[in-house]
A and B are shown apart, each in its own frame.
Chain A
Amino acid sequence: MNIVSKTPDVPRVNGGVLLFRSCLVSAEYPGSEAATKWLFDRFDIEYTVHPEQTCCTGLGYYSELVPVATSVALAARNACVAVEDGHPTMSYMCSTCYAINKKARNILSVDSYRADTNKVLAKVGREYTDAVADQIQHSHTMEILWSAHESIPGLIQRRLDGIKVATHPACHYCKVFPDEVMGDAENFMIPEDLLEDTGVIKTGLYNEKTTHCGAGFRQRFVNPGIAVAVTREKLRRLAQEKVDVCVHMCPNCAIQFDRHHSIIEASAQERYPFVHLHVQQLLALALGADPDKDCGLGSHSQDVEPLLERIGARTPAVTR
């Protein structure tokens, strides 16, 4: 029997958010961002996308190209941008952006590191002050959406009855700050809980749920054998659970699964009959979004058409 934890209710996010754009989301799955914005509009969550926001440096940092001080400095700068703009709540679509920025917040609470960082920031006319530190909030987009989940039942236009979904919990959300996870860090449920009202079958805890996607940033390239072996193990476990959709909350995980799924099936001579979507995409589809225009499903490597047919997303949405 699987354990299905329930994410606690939280107050609705106060005021607007700064939607922190992600390199991987923009380059690989722009539909994830489009679906997020589409949902924010439906949920009346005011948001901004700021032209001065920079990369979090995650890719460079984890490939040992960017030193930590640089990552911290850019995080401090981005925090200043958000606070100056009046949107001190950051909403991250990528769990690495979330972890890098949140970790930087902790580093910046040490006076000497903050002083060093501020020396650099002074060159661009900014300062990571106590006021910035007090105001800045680092939230994963899952958390922002969950804070508005009570709106969902009234907005459903395509029921997902009978669709079994499983969460792939992103490591950089669940494991970097396990005590700050919304809900159960060892059985993260927001993605499934967000979809609950649409009629999906939730999987809850399953074998290897907390195992990572295999990507490991540069490991994907320097040790592809190990990376793919981990991905395959996870795909096998998800297939054993007979899921229809594995929902993701991080573009890097989605790349590892969506781009490698068919390749692993072919090389392992196994079949994993399910697809990978970002939670935002599946939720938006249930609420009536257009699969192409609003969810950008064309950028996926897997064939998602059978699923779209099954949930009636290839015919115009109607209230049921």
Chain B
Amino acid sequence: MRAGVFLCQCGGNISGVLDLDDLAAHVRPMDGVTTVAINQFMCGTEGHQMISEAVEDRGLDHLIVASCSPRFQGPTFERIARELRLGENAVAFANLREGCSFIHKDQPELAQEKAKKILAGAIARAQHQSDLPRQRTFLHRSAVVVGGGIAGMTAAEELAASGIEVHMVERQPSIGGYMARLSKTFPTEDCAMCSLAPRLTSTALEGRVHVHTLTEVDEISGPPGEFSVKLRHRPRYVSEACVGCGECVPVCPVKLPNDFDFGVSERKAIDRQFANAVPSTFAIEKKGWSPCKSACAVHTSAQGYVALVAAGRFEEAYRVASEPNPFGSVCGRICTHLCETACARGKVDDPIAIASLKRFVADTVGPTVPVQPAPIVHEERVAIVGAGPAGITCARDLADLGYRVTVFEAQQVAGGMLRTGIPDYRLPHDVIQREVDQVLAKGIELKLGRRAGTDFTVDGLLEDGYQAVYLATGLQKSAEAPLPGDDLGGVTRAVELLRELNLGGTPIVGSKVVVIGGGDVALDAARSAIRLQKQAGKEPDVTLVYRRSKVEMPANVTEVEEGREEGLTVEFLVQPLAIEGKGSKVASIKLQRCALGEPDESGRRQPVAVAGSEFELVADTIVFAVGQALVDDFAQGCDGLELEAGQICVDRDTMMTTREGVFAGGDAAAMGFYTAIEAVAAGRRGAASIHNFLRGQRLLPVWDDEREVARPTEEELAAIAIGQRVPMQMVDGLQRRGDWREVSDGYTAEQAVAEAERCLNCAVCSECDSCVRACPSGAIDWDQAETIEGITVGAVIIATGHQEFDARRKRSLGYGRYDNVMTQSQLARLLAAAGPTAGELERPSDKGVPKNVLMLQCVGSRDCQSSGNEHCSAVCCLFATLHSSLIKQHYPDTEVTIGYTDLRAPGKAHEEYYKLVQSRGVRYVRGRVSEIIEEPDKSLRVRLEDTLTGRKSEELFDLVVLSAGLEASEGTKDIAHVAGLQTASAGFIKEYHPKLAPVDTQRTGMFVAGTAQGPKNIPDSIAQAKAAAARAIGMLSTGFVLTPAQVAASDPDVCIACGVCETVCPQGAVAVTTGADAHSVVDPNICRGCGICNAECPTGAIQLGGFSDEEVLAEATV
């Protein structure tokens, strides 16, 4: 080795503590040292020249540089060595500044000794340093800029001007970032949008910039120069056909806080963030299906019609409610409304009364809607057997599809079990008839009193020219549950009792009635029996016995409560044992109490008899309501039709029976038992399947695809003020006993609107289709879906910006609780000419002009409490000063006070601006606020301490504006995670070196700009963006990138593929191969030479270039 030792005085930083001549004398005789030199600044031109001459004159092959940290000036000396063709590992560093003179100032003698050791170590290590290989990667001349704010746009513009293709990725619907939301900018007080708008336009028009809005970066992999970036585009649901006319906005019924305006205004689910948005296309916010829509068997857009009711648009609400379901008035009364069970509002207080709202619109609007016959498009004829909800719905959908449809009904009235099974007081007959008539008005033929198997056969229908038949005959008789004594006089069955009643008869019930069962039919029979008793002049005496508890009961619980109000006695956990007779008549029923045991296959807990708990009830009428069964007459004359366990066998996907061309649905089909809404769903699916069959298409499953369900987060729910459902007027229970009129009156229009306004709009867009109807260019596109796109780029610039500190975290300041406490960002929107108040300052509580405003600095900044951040947010002093100035100029009578910690105005002309605004009459008080109290008149009592005078005061203000600090935006935190970048306090991205590489990140080829790196104002963001662009341009202009010399490498012969290196690598640079010769491989393009893998490797297979065991040991053991 022929080494030169170059000792740097570092302008006195080193020589002020260490005696360099003594050090020179110490190392000169050492083995391999050929020359020793001292210079004031070895990193400067003189030092450079000194090194060059020494290498040339003395034939040096190694340089020992004794100066500062290699982290600081290492690259300078390595470049010199490269220029002198000494190779990639020819410099050994002795850090005499940070390692010695800086920290041992007070002990120069000991420092001198330590310096000698450090130097000797460096010389020893140099003996073992050998050249390191480097690789070249050819570069893509393109870049991705993440974030479309002022920094991102500036960087993109610079890159594009250098001929580099740019992909700009922005998660919002428009580029523009935070600056687009400001009113004016300091210190010039010029309009933010006036500076920004031209840049937005130029970015949009620049051919080399590809703007991807509503897009996020999911993954970045690969080496610098050749990054593979995975982009996730969220659907906008509005195509490029949008001309930006805005016709869609007024018709959208969904209102939500406008996040662009920081919540000081409302926006619609379809929206454009601001007038100059780029792109100008509107966007719809949709989070999937609302829970109510998902829970509904026919997926009615319940949120849609609820939103329209809230907007007072009842006709449109009826359109949305009736599209999937012809029985709006019916379902509004008797539906099991799983939509309400799923309603997210139910987690806060009461679920929205969705069924009652449906009833309101269907009752109010339904009768007024004229129905035209549907045009016949197809020649085929379809026969429907059964005019219940499944049959009538199937007929409606087929008629709408253009088929000739005939419905055959065994009874003399249509409606099926809705008509014959549900009593009038719960579902008035005229309501059913009206909705059936509206379906028939589409040109459907109804043949009453025609029973399949008796009056006609299915075979006969097919022979007569019907190409398809839909069997929806229902379960028309009671199921049998054998019980001793069930043949006695006075024992009856609920289905038959209700049918007789609903067809105009008066079934005879005794004075003491016992109903057995826990379903809706049992409740209907019991409550009808009360009315029959009262009608016959008897006092109601009806007991319902159910063998499980209220929780397991299939009937709607409100039915139980309403029944009790009418005088019904309900005995839970009781089962019948036998009916006792007197002669041929019922005299009593023997019962037994039960307890709940383990759950059965239905998931409900099973009743277990309690021994010795038998008791008897005197009764003269026993009504069985323990299920329904099929009347299978229709099977006669339907060749090939198979039944299974008392229902018709069907293909679960297509609903076709075992006889081709014959379909079945509703209660009769072997697919479980149906509620009314499920019967409607079965009718719809039957129609779709028959259409497929008749059009010769393959019989594909016709079930709807389930979509992602939007659910508010716990945090969102916690922020909702607790209220209650608007109650519906009910007829008094005692009055109801002998009365067959409907028990509830339904909502009035005012009640309906008030109830609908409680909706949380879970899915945001309610899918009411109002925008589809309003859009003149047909731009609404529901087929858009999330897509993933992969791009390859040479460089990455991160400009994902910041967000305002959530001032709710400072509890004592009342933000989020008090109407008149807002943040500077919110004030910026109020003061913006294009903002929600057109620049007028309004006090939120009363919309008046505030007379006394307090601006409070350092909220969440310079705060040692765990609820805040330690850093200074840099812009707030001037942000508040700007807003104070604007207020003073527009409202001279308004007093403005700024409560500050320290006034920081270091930027160009900032101090002058502060003085100017102070001269305009703004009061600056140095002090912090302990607590803000809202008085009953909404003014704010503030306890403030002036820390200059030490005076404590309590003052009243009518508006308090919090200068909430800056934190990294969610986008910044996300991209840091995706790109594997280190972050500093409050989530800001850490630069590679705070002084020397302020726009570089820990990963080569990735640069950072703007507030993603830390709080800063607009000029600084722009300057940094230009710097980041220059770094990217510089790198991409070389055409290739060299891997660093000091990277890890793995020896496959030693590696045991344990995978520790892969786990510990913070850059994701190490991967373990698979197969018999599995071993780790380090990607030198990604490796940053941190050495963690090297330290963790149990076998020593991984070595770090420049830090081989020989080098390190030599240095450490001198």
Contacts and interface: CB of A to CB of B under 8 A. Distances in A.
Interface of A: 1-6, 178-179, 184, 186-187, 201, 205, 207-211, 237, 240
Given A3-B816, A3-B817, A186-B811, A210 B931 contact: yes
Task: Label chain A's interface by main secondary structure.
Answer: loop
A2 B817 contact: yes
Interface in B1018-1058: none
Nearest to B933: A207
21 contacts: A1-B719, A1-B816, A1-B817, A3-B719, A3-B808, A3-B811, A4-B718, A5-B718, A6-B714, A6-B718, A184-B811, A186-B810, A186-B812, A187-B811, A205-B811, A205-B817, A207-B934, A208-B931, A210-B811, A211-B931, A237-B933
A1 B721 contact: yes
Nearest to A233: B933
Interface residues of B, number: 18
Contacts of B808: 3
Contacts of A207: 933-934
Interface in B848-877: 865-867
Contacts of B934: 207
Contacts of B817: 1-3, 205
Interface string B135-176: 000000000000000000000000000000000000000000
B41 to A, nearest CB: 46
A6 B718 CA distance: 9
B816 A179 contact: no
Contacts of A2: 817
B867 A186 contact: yes
Interface in B932-946: 933-934, 936
A208 B811 contact: no
A187 B721 CA distance: 17
Contacts of B933: 207-208, 237
B956 to A, nearest CB: 14
Contact of B866 (A1, A178, A187, A201): A178
Interface in B805-827: 808, 810-812, 816-817
Nearest to A4: B718
B1045 to A, nearest CB: 45
**Those 7 A-B pairs whose CB atoms lie nearest each other, nearest first:** A186-B811, A207-B933, A179-B866, A187-B811, A1-B721, A3-B817, A205-B811
Given A179-B866, A210-B812, 20 more contacts: A1-B721, A1-B816, A3-B811, A3-B817, A5-B718, A6-B714, A178-B865, A178-B866, A186-B811, A187-B811, A201-B722, A205-B811, A207-B933, A208-B931, A208-B933, A209-B811, A210-B931, A211-B931, A237-B933, A240-B936
Contacts of B721: 1
A47 to B, nearest CB: 31
Contacts of A208: 931, 933
Contacts of B816: 1, 3
Contacts of B718: 4-6
A313 B714 CA distance: 34
A14 to B, nearest CB: 26
B724 to A, nearest CB: 12
Interface string B750-777: 0000000000000000000000000000
A167 to B, nearest CB: 13
Contacts of B812: 186, 210
A53 to B, nearest CB: 32
Interface in B381-409: none
B263 to A, nearest CB: 13
Contacts of A1: 719, 721, 816-817
A210 B812 CA distance: 8
A155 B719 CA distance: 29
A179 to B, nearest CB: 5
A168 to B, nearest CB: 15
A52 B451 CA distance: 91
Name which of B714, B812, B865 has the most chain A CB atoms within 10 A of its CB: B812
A313 to B, nearest CB: 25
A186 B808 CA distance: 11
Interface in B766-811: 808, 810-811
A94 B934 CA distance: 31
Contacts of A6: 714, 718
A2 B722 CA distance: 10
Nearest to B936: A240
Contacts of A5: 718
A240 B937 CA distance: 13
Interface in B700-753: 714, 718-719, 721-722
Contacts of A187: 811
Nearest to B715: A6
B716 to A, nearest CB: 13
Nearest to A179: B866
Contacts of B866: 178-179
Contacts of A179: 866
A205 B719 CA distance: 12
Nearest to A181: B866
A316 to B, nearest CB: 23
A211 B812 CA distance: 10
A208 B719 CA distance: 20
A301 to B, nearest CB: 28
Contacts of B867: 186
B703 to A, nearest CB: 38
A311 B693 CA distance: 65
B962 to A, nearest CB: 15
A1 B811 CA distance: 13
Interface in B1086-1105: none
A209 B811 CA distance: 10
A186 B814 CA distance: 11
B933 to A, nearest CB: 5
Contacts of B719: 1, 3
Nearest to A210: B812
A256 to B, nearest CB: 19
A86 to B, nearest CB: 34
A143 B866 CA distance: 20
A201 B721 CA distance: 12
B47 to A, nearest CB: 49
A211 B930 CA distance: 10
A2 B718 CA distance: 10
A66 to B, nearest CB: 30
Contacts of A237: 933
Interface in B2-27: none
A22 to B, nearest CB: 28
Nearest to B932: A207
A178 to B, nearest CB: 7
A196 to B, nearest CB: 12
B574 to A, nearest CB: 19
Contacts of B714: 6
Interface in B197-215: none
Contacts of B936: 240
Nearest to A202: B722
Contacts of B811: 3, 184, 186-187, 205, 209-210
A234 to B, nearest CB: 11
A3 B812 CA distance: 11
Contacts of A3: 719, 808, 811, 816-817
A4 B811 CA distance: 11
Contacts of B865: 178
A207 B938 CA distance: 12
A261 B717 CA distance: 36
A190 to B, nearest CB: 16
Nearest to B722: A201
Contacts of A210: 811-812, 931
A178 B931 CA distance: 17
B1063 to A, nearest CB: 28
Contacts of A186: 810-812, 867
Contacts of A209: 811
Contacts of A4: 718
A309 B934 CA distance: 34
